[in-house]
Amino acid sequence: MLHGDGVEDELWPAKYLKEPDLKARRDPTTGRTALVILNSPIPDYDYFYRLYNHASFCLCADGGADRLYSLLTNHKSGLDEIAALKQALPDIIHGDLDSLSDGTRSVYESLAVEVSQDPDQYSTDFGKAMNKVIERLPGIESMLVLGSIGGRVDQGVGLLGELYREQTVRHPGIRFWLFSEASSGLLQRNIGILPLYGPAVITTEGLEWDVQDWSTEMGGQMSTSNHIVADEIGIFTDNEVLFTVERATGR
């Protein structure tokens, strides 16, 4: 997301898809970036591993631990189960645990991965995950969310609702970056600027259909299916917006 202070902002998602500096990664007490793995397929190991190594803290939201288990054991076929899982251990598995398989839980607990339960039925696993990450990583600035908002419409809308609440009410200083399970690559030209947090006035530079002091709101006019046409783009807004960008495939 882009801050609404009128200051041009670097397109940070590209940073998280590049090779990380492994020396700077894991310090769960002072780190500023966390990775949350949702219960969605993760077919691309290199894509996941780059996000993982840019994060100081990694949380699997309930059945997200099963997705991580499958990714690591399938990709590291030359290793035994334990050795494969040790390539990318999460710091914690957290949620109401109704989706987590007994086998996955047992093996991760044998590797000293913390498993904690929040039985609250009035919050989603994503909401529980955000609360736990913020509790454990008080200096957090960016939260990388690996998983799709596709599939069931109610779950996708629920995730966006949680995102709206966290960004506007509870933790406006944290940036949330949503990464889908699409094929590997860097960034494609297709973008969207969604006024999820209320009406906004935006100005853009470097897009195929640039706008100047343009009013946008949900239910009204919105900049969707726009295209990047310059090496650098600028987006200026007087309110928070949800910025989406498609990853390139086959790279």
DSSP string, 66-128: HHHHHHHHHHTTTS-HHHHHGGG--SEEEE--SSS-HHHHHHHHHTT-EEEE---TTS-HHHH
Q: What is the reported pLDDT for 60?
A: 97
Domain 187-247 CATH assignment equals 3.40.50.2000: no
**Residue 125 pLDDT > 50:** yes
Q: What is the reported pLDDT for 21?
A: 62
pLDDT digits (tens, 9 = 90+) for 26-64: 555 567 899 999 988 887 888 898 889 889 999 999 999
**Mean per-residue pLDDT, 166-195:** 68
Please tell me the number of Cα atoms within 13 Å of 33 on its side-chain side: 17
Q: What is the reported pLDDT for 76?
A: 74
Per domain, the residue ranges of the chain are: 18-179, 187-247
pLDDT digits (tens, 9 = 90+) for 17-34: 667 665 555 555 567 899
Q: Which residues contact 129 (CB under 8 A, 6 or more apart)?
A: 36, 38, 59, 61, 94, 95
Quote the CA–CA distance of 104 and 246 in Å, as a whole number.
32
Token duo for residue 187: 């960034």
Cα torsion through 118, 122, 123, 124, rounded to 10: 90
Is 250 or 168 the better-scoring residue by pLDDT?
168
**Residue 94 pLDDT > 60:** yes
Q: What is the reported pLDDT for 7?
A: 40
Is 115 or 122 the better-scoring residue by pLDDT?
115
**Residue 108 pLDDT > 90:** yes
Q: What is the reported pLDDT for 79?
A: 84
Q: What is the reported pLDDT for 5?
A: 44
**Residue 214 pLDDT > 60:** yes
Q: Which residues pair with 237 in a beta bridge?
A: 202
Q: Which residues pair with 96 in a beta bridge?
A: none
Q: What is the reported pLDDT for 169?
A: 59
Helix axes 102-110, 64-75, angle to 10 degrees: 70
Q: Helix and strand tally (H, E) in the chain? A: 7, 12
One-letter amino acid of 176 = F
Instruction: Kindly indicate the confidence band of residue 69, based on its pLDDT and cuts at 50, 70 and 90.
Output: very high
Token duo for residue 180: 């889908």
Averaged confidence pLDDT in the chain? 79
**Mean per-residue pLDDT, 62-79:** 90
Is 22 or 133 the better-scoring residue by pLDDT?
133
**Mean per-residue pLDDT, 181-199:** 68
Q: What is the reported pLDDT for 243?
A: 78
User: What are the angstrom distances between the C-alpha of 215 and each of 2, 7, 16, 199, 219?
Assistant: 16, 18, 31, 7, 12
Q: Which CATH class is domain 18-179?
A: alpha beta
Task: State how beta strands 200-205 and 114-117 pair.
Answer: unpaired
Q: What is the reported pLDDT for 160?
A: 67
Residue 72 has a CB neighbour count (10 Å cut-off) of 22
**Residue 11 pLDDT > 60:** no
**Mean per-residue pLDDT, 67-73:** 95
